[in-house]
Structure 1
Amino acid sequence: MKKNVLLILMLWITGSCSVLDSVAADDFDEYHEHAKEVLANCVHDVAPRFGKRICDCGYRDEEYIAPKFEGSTTEIEIANCKSLRIRHDSFTGLFQLTGLTIINVENLVLEPNSLDFTRNDPFARLKIYFTNSLIEEVPSHLMRGFIAELTFTRCRIGVFRPYSITSIREQLESLNILESFVNKIERHAFKRFDVSQLTIEGTKFITPIPFQSFYEIDVLNRFIMSNSSLYSLLPGAFTMKNVTNLIIVNSEFDNLSGDCLSMHIRNSVRMVGIYFNRIDYAAFRGITLDSSYYSRHSEKPYLLFHNNRIRHLEDARSLAFSNDFNTQLRGIHVEQSITCKDVVSLKQSSLLFNHSDEIFFVSSKESFQSLHDIQRVQCLENNFWLYLIVGVTVASIILVTIVLLISWYCMAQKRKQRQMLNIVMPEPRTYRETQIIMQIENHGLLKTDL
């Protein structure tokens, strides 16, 4: 009996262990994965700068987590990691940090609130640099506190989640996305903060930028976009509160939807050397002038639209800008041919009419020709016979009219001559004879006639 009880107990224990093993295998994979994580080893810099910590993973094939930094550390550099996780409490114990650099990380995992610097001294002017790293996700509510600069350089970014860059106290000196590759930006990813300079340079965005991705941002100095490629801007993609100077140069846009750029400009706009695959109606009408401009100036500011190339122009209204600016077009090449009917439609735009010698279309000879020359030469040649027929018709009508007038005049002269011939003229008499006749008529026959 005791042997049976012991056997049953052993079987029960064995079964329980197998069940635990299966549960661990199915439901705690993440736990086992985290169990492999290794705390990054950080040392003090040997240089005379006080308070700098350097964490070098040495490209070892391990999953590292950033340690919890505390105290008076002023600079942190984490580099050369196959995988690195930044936890939500990694930097909450710091109060004098001025620089954070994360460089050469093949898989950088950022937890929400992992860049929490609310305890950091606002006068420290913290600068954060992500360099040559792969970030699958920039999570919502990534950062908090007083941050002076945020820069992504040569990074591959999977997605910017909503509210990923927000809750920044005071203002950023600069926000930079440089030489990077961005797969996706979600709505409200960059929201409600002030920045002195916003720079997007050498960066490629491969999916459409949706409505209010950049929302209520006040750019106090310049918003610069250069040498970048953007797949598509949907309506309201850049809904900026105020932008002092807007500069877009040497970049490429696959498609600009209507009102995709909604910005109040305080000073100037410059768009130079840009390739547009397609421009929809009123793509630029959302760029308007802030009312504060006239408190400092008396004339309209210039909006420069120079040396740009357009593959497809929907109609004349696609190149429509706000009347707040003195718009200047120069060297605009449109890679499509137009008919004389299109010329008439395009000339209805006062902007194109005033710059008809600066906007070029593909002519019949597959070379670029100005709108002015197309209208002056090509359309006149195409309408030669029409003009000839109209001219002959008008000349014929004038000739017939002249002949009719001449005929009427001649007939009128002949009629007048006939009337003059029918008049009976009295016989000529002397004055004495006329008196005698009048007396006879008045008094009857003379006595000598009895």
Structure 2
Amino acid sequence: MRWPAWWHIVVALRAAALAQPASPTVCEDDACRCDSFTRVICSCTADADTVTLRPDGAFRVPAMATAIMVEGCERVQFLSDTVRHLGRLRLVDVRNSRHVLINNRALNRPPLGNNPDLENNPGIRIVIHNSTIDIIGSYAIQGRVDSIVISDSRIKFIEPYAFSSLIGVTNVELSNNHFVVLATQIFKKFTTSNFVLRGGVIHTLPSRFLSDVEVTSLFRMEGVLVEYMFSSAFRVTLPERVLIESNTIGVMDGDCFHIASRGPITFRNNTVTGVRKGAFLGFSALPEVTSVKGQQELLLDNNIMTELMPSSLVYDTRTLTMRVDGLNLNTTCSCELADEWRDVLHDQGGAGGLSCWYSLEGYFVSLPTFVDSRCGKFKQNFWIYVAVGVIVILIIAALGVYFIVKRENEKKKKVQIVMPDGKTYRETEFHIVVERADLLTTDL
């Protein structure tokens, strides 16, 4: 067949394709619309309460979309590769939705043309608020992402590597969420300026919750209720500032914070029930920092801990110095307790911030103060001396009372009689003789 003949066939097929109606996009979905800025806006109603976001086929997300915004839906599902080819997308925002499912690789946004240049490949901002997330699949969020903010939500299950190989992240913030089940290595191998875990409930923080994550500015964990923290829950490097404050933690395993910082580390206002051996041993400062600035400070300030032993406070003495400004041992003060903590008291220069519960007064008192007031050679036996003294005094008082009473009784038994002749007779007994006298009559 000659070329002109082929050309006519191609033209005919193209004309037929153009004659067919184009498949609808999500903009024609009952719950969604697209505005003049090519933003996909889905506001669900009782008649249209489900939104499925897909990369191709009917009701797909249009290639020119700059934002995906979903509000008040019963069910929202992101299928795999939903945003992969959306080069203009800048925002994914889901709010007030009851069931959110983010499938594997659903929000995977690789750099355009495999070019990692951040200026030529601006990333997306992911926001999820006040929703229930049923699942975040493996590799669900990857590639060029500017920030991730998940707040006031219930998250039932996050699979391994859900947030992995991210590029250009400036901020990851998880606020006031309830995490039900977390797999290991959820946040894996990326760099961000800030990582903030604030408020909410986590039943179990698994090992490598953060794995090989570089935080270049601030790592912060604040106001979180955690029942159990496994060893190496956080494996983080490079933060200039580490703040762990106002958390309520059931158990801290050894080396649960494996953080190599470029600055000071503060552990403040936390309440911890069980602190295992080496719980603080994973904190360190980077050698390139200590070689220039010297050892960095690990500050323990105003914490309450119940099950704690001196080995729990072992730390990296090569790169850090520890300062204890407030550590309340939720244990009754005793001289035996002071003996147990003697080495820590010595290492901390007296450790005036180390306190125990003084039951006689009903408040925490500095352990060194208790030692000074109650644990000297004489002071340790003080209450024995007091008890013996009280017993002796009671015995003397009892004997005194006995003899006094006896003497008074003897006095009562003795009576003095004065006779008319002026003589005094002392008798100890009275004998009373009763005589009968009959009336005399004249009748003899």
TM-score > 0.5 by shorter chain:
yes
Q: Distance in 2 between matches of 1:237 and 1:201?
A: 16
| TM-score, scaled relative to structure 1 | 0.72
1:101 aligns with 93
Answer 1 or 2: which has greater helix percent. Answer: 1
Aligned residues: 344
**1:172-191 superposed matches below 5 A:** 172-191=169-188
Q: Distance in 1 between matches of 2:100 and 2:350?
A: 51
- Once the two structures are superposed, what CA deviation does each residue of 1:315-357 show, in whole Å capped at 9, x if it has no partner? 1121222212232211221211143122112012256652432
Q: Distance in 2 between matches of 1:77 and 1:351?
A: 59
2:144 aligns with 146
**Contact kept in structure 2, 1:212 and 1:236, CA below 8 Å:** yes
What secondary structure does 2:163 align onto? coil
Q: Distance in 1 between matches of 2:79 and 2:52?
A: 7
**Contact kept in structure 1, 2:278 and 2:314, CA below 8 Å:** yes
Report deviation, 1:166. Answer: 0.4
| Change beyond 3 A, Cα 1:42–1:63 | closer
- Once the two structures are superposed, what CA deviation does each residue of 1:103-149 show, in whole Å capped at 9, x if it has no partner? 11100111111112226595323111011110121111102221110
C-alpha RMSD of the superposition: 2.4
2:236 aligns with 240
What secondary structure does 2:128 align onto? strand
| Change beyond 3 A, Cα 1:75–1:61 | closer
Q: Distance in 2 between matches of 1:68 and 1:119?
A: 21
Q: Distance in 2 between matches of 1:93 and 1:356?
A: 60
2:60 aligns with 68
**1:12-23 superposed matches below 5 A:** none
Matched, 1:354 2:352: no
What secondary structure does 2:289 align onto? helix
**Contact kept in structure 1, 2:333 and 2:367, CA below 8 Å:** no
- Aligned partner (choices 27, 39, 42) of residue 52 of structure 1: 39
**Contact kept in structure 2, 1:92 and 1:119, CA below 8 Å:** no
**1:240-389 superposed matches below 5 A:** 240-297=236-293, 299-313=294-308, 315-323=309-317, 324-349=319-344, 353-365=348-360, 366-380=362-376, 381-384=379-382
Matched, 1:167 2:158: no
Paired residue type of 1:319: L
1:204 aligns with 201
Q: Distance in 2 between matches of 1:181 and 1:327?
A: 33
**Contact kept in structure 2, 1:120 and 1:145, CA below 8 Å:** no
Q: Distance in 1 between matches of 2:41 and 2:108?
A: 20
2:75 aligns with 83
**Contact kept in structure 1, 2:155 and 2:178, CA below 8 Å:** yes
| TM-score, scaled relative to structure 2 | 0.72
Paired residue type of 2:311: R
Paired residue type of 1:42: C
**Contact kept in structure 2, 1:40 and 1:65, CA below 8 Å:** no
